[in-house]
Amino acid sequence: SYLPSFLSFGPVAAKINGPFSAAMEECGIREETFLWRWLDYLSFALSGLLADGTICAAVSYTLGDLHRPNSILDYPVGGSGAVCEAL
């Protein structure tokens, strides 16, 4: 009895597991804009890949976190200097 409901998630699952760049394009964000470049950078900061190589779910979850009340962008903790020190 759950199968029809489960199968209805197919189209959404494909989008969420697809590249974040596809969601950006679907929203009408153009590549030459600041917003595209910022989201491309955020994707890279999360996965080491640009938006066309980062799954949509990861960036979407992070964007949700960044827009919660009292949230701050604090990763990597200690900034890029902490990453250099750790290496």
Q: Please calculate the CA angle 51-57-75 and round it to the nearest 5 degrees.
A: 70
Residues 30, 36 contacting (CB under 8 angstroms)? yes
Residue 78 predicted with pLDDT over 80: no
Q: Residues 6 or more apart from 71 whose CB is under 8 A from it?
A: 65
d(CA 31, CA 16): 20
d(CA 41, CA 3): 39
Q: What are phi and psi of 55, to 5 degrees?
A: -70, 145
Mean pLDDT of the chain: 88
Query: How much is the pTM?
Result: 0.72
pLDDT for res 75: 65
Mean pLDDT of 68-73: 83
pLDDT digits 0-9 by tens, 14-47: 899 999 999 999 999 999 999 999 999 999 989 9
